[in-house]
Structure 1
Amino acid sequence: MSRHDLLISGRQVTKEFGYGLKKTTAVDRVDFDFHEGEIISIVGESGSGKTTLAKILMGLLKETGGAVEYKGKPRQLKSHKERKAYWKDIQAIFQDPFSSFNLFHKVEKLLLDCIKLQGLKLSREEQFLKMKDACSFVNLKFEELYNKYPFELSGGQMQRLMIARIFMLHPKVLIADEPTSMVDACSRSTILDMLLKLRDENNMTIIFITHDVGLAYYVSDTLYIMQKGQFVERGPAESLILAPQHPYTRQLINDVPKIHSEWNLA
């Protein structure tokens, strides 16, 4: 993939929780550069700090130290108006789809909110067509879903509905935190294909947050390996998997039999 414009960058980004003797550092002075249209995976075991970093990137957590820039400028997230503008460009899919939706709002309301977030003034018919197109993109039928509540849908349907929202919003950045962990292998492949198709159509940057180095290798341009709040290794996916330099990266690769046997990595 050819490199495009730098979109999000961070320098010495740090996040601490607690005070005094109880203080823990979840993200420890990390640097990163994410480009337009790039697929990045931040890979690490549970507790490595990757989800905390995802929340910082989303603007849901404020960094304790360091700085994050968006489009070459410091992010402005103090006011509701600034946060809303930022979230038009940066969206997320989380591990548990049910925690991402208001369970008391029907599917139609969840999708209409996407139209409102964009500030679009559409007729009722235009709204219907936009929601129907989004559902069709993820192989769902809007007519069968619009009057249902999230808890009436399966986990796979919820994951697809989350991607339908992304289809409607056209964000510049999608942060996908373990987006396929709650679905079966067949659905996992379908969801990944949908996300990659969105990248190709919209030149969207996708940041995968995952413990699965196998998935990261197959979908990513660039890998960042995270351990104990720090990036211990980074680089193009293929060269990093073929020639890992850090012992932790080697350990992650050795835990994936398919990659291990395919590349005969020690």
Structure 2
Amino acid sequence: MADEPTTSLDVTVAAQILQELTRLCQEFSTALMLISHDLSLVAEYCDRIAVMYDGQLVEMGQAQQVLYQPQHDYSRTLVESALHLQRAPGNAASETDRDPLLQVHDLTQHYTLEQTLLARCLGGQHNQVIKAVDGVSFDLYPGEILGLVGESGCGKSTLCRSILQLVRPTAGRVDFRGQDLSQLSTAELLPQRRHLQMIFQDPRACLNPMMTVGRGIIDPLLIHGLASAQEAAAHGRAMLERVGLIPTQDYVHRYPGDLSGGQQQRVAIARALITRPKLLICDEPVSMLDATVQAQVLQLMLELKQEFDLTYLFITHDLWVAKFLCDRIAVMQAGKLVEIGPTQQIFNQPQHPYTQTLLQAAPLLAKVA
């Protein structure tokens, strides 16, 4: 029984894991039950599919039948949501004469793994340097959605944490609205943080389980001194309503553990937006959600981008999500940025061999038909 074994993995590693699992099952004549919210993956590797909704098994049958002739309304909604993402045309190149909102110059984040004294004495080994981010440079323009894709462990999340100064970079510059964040002290960074917010992959890990939803959302307002307690409560209810958690009184006094994954992510989005940031860094915000909730959250993010004049740096290992959402895509491999360009160009005319490998490995629901 494999419970979401590839959820946090990029397409190349996910393909390797699933190929090895199926090979071992054939070799040892073992049955495999694969639990997944990724319909493309299920279509490629499974013989039969069972669809669950609200604790009930609503449909079961051969993979081809369930995916291309679904009988239950929920099955149809799942398939339509997945196909909607994959059939997105992708954005073409767009000209801009605006100054960049964010400029990253030769950003480097190295970590040193020190050998033990015994290892140094016996083997003469030197300390190992891990180049998590290795000389990355790019510009991000106001109102743009830049996707960041690459294999698991290539440095995507470390890059974003270095941009936010959650970890101080080893070298390089991070210019946000013309100011180098890497040169600011902790106290000097605080006024900038209200304009730089992050949405994390797992909302359960970033929402305080001991704090009610209402209090968790307004906490940034109180930390930055942007509103009184009464004003913050009103802003919090308005933001809950905007992200679709209505009626708000049903959610304000609940705790994160009482909510579904999709509802938790909406709370995380509301909390990130409460300070009216200019730049939102999204670290795999929909990777743990099923196709229908994914589509709803992505559509919500597009609407909020227009309403709040947001700029997104969007990390994802799902190439179809990147194609649906992003204006440009940057591809990372082993800590380096190997290719960057408009979404249509990356998908239709990839230049780097690694980009080509990623696209070839991406499971596509339509091609299985």
The two structures have a TM-score, normalised by structure 2, of 0.66
Q: Secondary structure at the match of 1:223?
A: strand
* Counterpart code for 1:135: L
Query: Once the 2 structures are TM-superposed, how far is the Cα of residue 112 of structure 1 from its aligned partner?
Result: 2.3
Match of 2:314 in 1: 208
Query: Once the 2 structures are TM-superposed, how far is the Cα of residue 79 of structure 1 from its aligned partner?
Result: 3.4
Q: Is the 8 A contact 1:43 1:223 kept in 2?
A: yes
CA deviations over 1:127-181 (Å, ceiling 9, x no partner): 4432222111121132112222222222211101011123322110000000001
Structure number with greater Rg is 2
Separation in 1, partners of 2:226, 2:175: 28
Does structure 1 residue 135 correspond to structure 2 residue 240? yes
Match of 2:199 in 1: 93
Q: Greater shift after overlay, 235-244 or 2-11?
A: 2-11
Q: Secondary structure at the match of 2:194?
A: helix
Q: Is the 8 A contact 1:155 1:183 kept in 2?
A: yes
1:250 to 356, 360, 363: 356
Q: Greater shift after overlay, 13-22 or 89-98?
A: 13-22
The two structures have a TM-score, normalised by structure 1, of 0.91
* Counterpart code for 1:228: A
Q: Secondary structure at the match of 1:156?
A: helix
Task: Report 1:93-242 matches (<5 A).
Answer: 93-122=199-228, 124=230, 126-141=231-246, 142-242=248-348
Separation in 1, partners of 2:174, 2:224: 24
* Counterpart code for 1:214: W
Q: Is the 8 A contact 1:59 1:77 kept in 2?
A: no
Query: Once the 2 structures are TM-superposed, how far is the Cα of residue 201 of structure 1 from its aligned partner?
Result: 1.6
CA deviations over 1:35-91 (Å, ceiling 9, x no partner): 111100010010111110011112101111111111223116643432221210000
Does structure 1 residue 64 correspond to structure 2 residue 170? yes
**RMSD, matched Cα:** 1.9
Pick closer, same or farther for the CA change 1:48–1:259 going to 2, 3 Å. Answer: farther
Separation in 2, partners of 1:171, 1:256: 33
Separation in 2, partners of 1:257, 1:114: 39
Separation in 2, partners of 1:2, 1:195: 23
Q: Is the 8 A contact 1:58 1:90 kept in 2?
A: yes
Separation in 2, partners of 1:13, 1:5: 20
Runs of 5+ unmatched residues, structure 2: 1-93, 114-125
Q: Greater shift after overlay, 201-210 or 163-172?
A: 163-172
* Counterpart code for 1:12: D
Q: Secondary structure at the match of 1:151?
A: helix
